[in-house]
Structure 1
């Protein structure tokens, strides 16, 4: 048998403390995680357990106090390339059209930055097709304030994907939306992942969202955050809203909820 491929992302006994000496606060404690190329991972846990801190460590925005973070089999010592990020707030620039907002990473990420001026028509078409894939094909010339919250988040995800990152980091991207819009966007994000097979790391408080989208769910303890459960989601894809009402789906959600509730006991 051929040797197993190295994980794309790996955390080895990673801890992070904010502050120094007696004033130090241990945010993350001895966390170990392995994420394969093309895997969709969700991270859940109590508020303040270090979920967002973990994302910053993976992307190299902060350095661990101890342990090691590796991406593409190289130790992370600073901000890494090939990452797209989407947050709870869309952070679209109000003075730019939706299409221009989506194209923003192309202006700063190489090699697209070098090519944008000469190949602008190609990138324009690329952005337009990406918007069309999430139902925003007719809204490229609209400004963010002319879009609903759900439409803004679709554009936000498009912006995170336009430069074809290997890793997509999602920090509560649908947390501010109503339940119906949120569930609609689960399906859209799943379809984008099925088509493109980027590696995704989703931080969420919504256990149904985690189970719907992820291949693997990591449960974190309360602070200092540790990985206390790893749950493989072996439900067939594509998953649909009806899937969330099946006994197998509901059982996984209850299993995760019970483990998180132990942290409050």
Structure 2
């Protein structure tokens, strides 16, 4: 199978890096179409750099980044992104925040005015899918943090991306809300079949959501372990209390502890 995201032997150094040390070195990673992959590793290991490379927000000094069969040389239009901070515009309603990418990304930008009702219906369907039915008229400050993050996921999916990049999207939430959103994300992936790369510090989150987990070394980051997650889907939160789940989390923690020692 041809990988959808193919990062091959990539080294990247930020121009502002005072020590001149690469953020990632000889980084190689392949993610198949429709797969849910998770990236874990010590703080500062280059997880967010990997995300920027895969979406064309940064370009490597060495190596190649290929997405959907094309070498990345510009921002990747087929990607959607969600971050730890939902960054909703406070003067726009939740619905208008969700529609925002359509004002930027072609071909939707050219179609938006003439087909506004169609896009609004799509946004409302996404809101219902994430448990926010009827909340589109509210402003972000009228929503809880968890509700804003749900809306942020809708915004990332509104232009029907083939690749969804998630950078610590649930990190700022309490544990109960975080687990609720794990289930939302699980269901969105099952329904949309989009390729997802999740960057997270939460090993339980990685184990619950993903098909495959990549562990990165300390800076300069590279992949030091790759683990398939074999728990059958759909997964219920009860799996997080099973011995085999705890064993996987413990194994991942061991890889990261080893990576820290090697730093």
Aligned to 2:41: 45
For 1:1-265, list aligned pairs within 5 A: 5-19=1-15, 23-265=19-261
SS at match of 1:264: helix
Q: Check conservation: 2:41, 2:47, Cα contact below 8 A.
A: yes
Deviation at 1:77, TM superposition (A): 1.4
SS at match of 1:132: helix
Question: How far apart in 2 are the matches of 1:256 and 1:111?
Answer: 41
Q: Check conservation: 1:19, 1:25, Cα contact below 8 A.
A: no
Question: How far apart in 2 are the matches of 1:126 and 1:20?
Answer: 41
TM-score normalised by length of structure 2:
0.97
Aligned pair in 2 of structure 1 residues 220, 106: CA closer, same or farther (>3 Å)? Answer: same
For structure 2, the residue ranges without an aligned partner over 5 or more in a row are none
Question: How far apart in 1 are the matches of 2:100 and 2:10?
Answer: 33
TM-score normalised by length of structure 1:
0.96
Question: How far apart in 2 are the matches of 1:169 and 1:63?
Answer: 17
Question: How far apart in 1 are the matches of 2:141 and 2:17?
Answer: 47
Question: How far apart in 1 are the matches of 2:198 and 2:112?
Answer: 30
Question: How far apart in 2 are the matches of 1:29 and 1:190?
Answer: 32
Aligned-CA RMSD value = 1.3
Question: How far apart in 2 are the matches of 1:127 and 1:160?
Answer: 11
SS at match of 1:122: helix
Deviation at 1:263, TM superposition (A): 1.9
The alignment covers a number of residue pairs equal to: 261
Question: How far apart in 2 are the matches of 1:22 and 1:107?
Answer: 38
Aligned pair in 2 of structure 1 residues 19, 76: CA closer, same or farther (>3 Å)? Answer: same
Question: How far apart in 2 are the matches of 1:155 and 1:72?
Answer: 27
Question: How far apart in 1 are the matches of 2:26 and 2:167?
Answer: 21
For structure 1, the residue ranges without an aligned partner over 5 or more in a row are none
Deviation at 1:19, TM superposition (A): 3.3
Deviation at 1:138, TM superposition (A): 1.7
SS at match of 1:70: strand
